[in-house]
Amino acid sequence: MFDEFKNAFNRYNNGHVQLIIINVVVFIILAVFYVLSTVSGFNIIGPIHDQFSIPPLFTDFIQRPWTILTYAFAHSLTDIFHILFNMLALYWFGKLFIEYLGNDKLIAVYVLGALAGGIVYLLMFNTIPYFKNLSGFPGMVGASAAVYAILVAVATLLPDYTLFLMFLGPVRIKYIALFYIVISFIGSVGPNAGGNLAHLGGALMGFIYIKQLQAGVNWGAWVTATLEWIKGIFQPSSKVKVSYRKTEPSAKKSSSSSSAGKAAKASQEEIDHILDKISDKGYESLSKEEKEKLFNASKK
């Protein structure tokens, strides 16, 4: 199982699966502490769960500000459908997102959607009297805001993309996104007001992100750069290199070696170009020849 998880993080354009694995692992760890707390009678889960749950009041939030992101990787421990439906939606819409925009942008939108959802949630519960009166709960968890950001981002990019839904048949993705936005808007004055407000914040971020990207501005560039910096600390990335050795000093050999050096340099430039293309447009954007070149280079 460990090897399968490791391989999932080594594959190209597998960000949606990677995010699902992180969410599931966090859920299982918290579930273990939840069961131990219940059986032992000691409140083990409380302090741990607080590190993932974003509180509604700003006075509590400033004591654990990291929860504006960690809440998007935790779910209800008493409602299995909370994580199930979120992960299914993340898989379906995340896979479609990656096909057109690539892995890095998917993760960036997930993070931006979570942040936007958390900000809207905090603003509403600390500025609007109606929501202030509803702030008597410990906090909010769930990846829904981040998933909404991905869904709306895809619907903004490909509004007429058609999905075939059970019992409904073909439905354009823009109507699916609109349906969920309307449901969350109505639910913003219901029992799960905090969660639905976060959904709307994530949805807004998904829309803005694509519009800005189409205008040539990548709002998620800082997320990608930060993650690359973190990866560089723990596992420095190695570039594909091609080397050659001159065996004979003759003019003919020197000329051949020089040509080989140019060919090697050209090959390295091609690999760099292919990797850049994957980052920008996704693995599926590569031609068959480019995929073969990347595969052959990875074996050296």
The answer to whether the pTM exceeds 0.75 is yes
Q: What's the confidence (pLDDT) of residue 300?
A: 53
Q: What's the confidence (pLDDT) of residue 270?
A: 76
Q: What's the confidence (pLDDT) of residue 257?
A: 46
pLDDT grade, residue 293 (50/70/90)? confident
- Position 51 pLDDT exceeds 50: yes
pLDDT grade, residue 294 (50/70/90)? low
Of 259 and 185, more confident: 185
- Position 34 pLDDT exceeds 80: yes
What pairs with residue 162 in β-bridges?
Answer: 172
The answer to whether the CB of 197 falls within 8 A of the CB of 132 is no
Q: What's the confidence (pLDDT) of residue 65?
A: 97
| pLDDT tens-digit readout, 144-164 | 999 999 999 999 999 999 998
Q: Read out DSSP for the chain?
A: -HHHHHHHHHSTT-HHHHHHHHHHHHHHHHHHHHHHHHHH-S--HHHHHHTTPBPSSHHHHTTSTTHHHHGGG---SS-HHHHHHHHHHHHHHHHHHHHHH-HHHHHHHHHHHHHHHHHHHHHHHHH-HHHHTT--SS-B--SHHHHHHHHHHHHHHSTT-EEEETTTEEEEHHHHHHHHHHHHHHHTTSTTHHHHHHHHHHHHHHHHHHHHHHTT--TTHHHHHHHHHHHHHHSPPPPP---------SHHHHHHHHHHHHHHHHHHHHHHHHHHHHHHH-GGGS-HHHHHHHHHHHT-
Q: What's the confidence (pLDDT) of residue 256?
A: 45
- Position 285 pLDDT exceeds 80: no
- Position 261 pLDDT exceeds 60: no
Q: What's the confidence (pLDDT) of residue 236?
A: 56
Structure tokens at 167: 């019992």
| pLDDT tens-digit readout, 214-232 | 999 999 999 999 998 888 8
Report the distance separating Cα 278 and Cα 268, nearest Å. 15
Q: What's the confidence (pLDDT) of residue 197?
A: 97
- Position 26 pLDDT exceeds 70: yes
Q: What's the confidence (pLDDT) of residue 264?
A: 40
Which of 74-83, 161-170, 204-213, 246-255 comes out lowest in average pLDDT? 246-255
- Position 8 pLDDT exceeds 90: no
Burial 166-201 (b: 16+ CB within 10 A, else e): eeeeeeebbebbeebbeebeebbeeeebbbbbbbbb
Q: What's the confidence (pLDDT) of residue 262?
A: 42
User: CA distances (Å), 287 to each of 275, 277, 278, 279, in order?
Assistant: 13, 11, 11, 15
Q: What's the confidence (pLDDT) of residue 287?
A: 76
> What share of the chain has pLDDT > 70, as a percent?
80
Q: What's the confidence (pLDDT) of residue 77?
A: 94
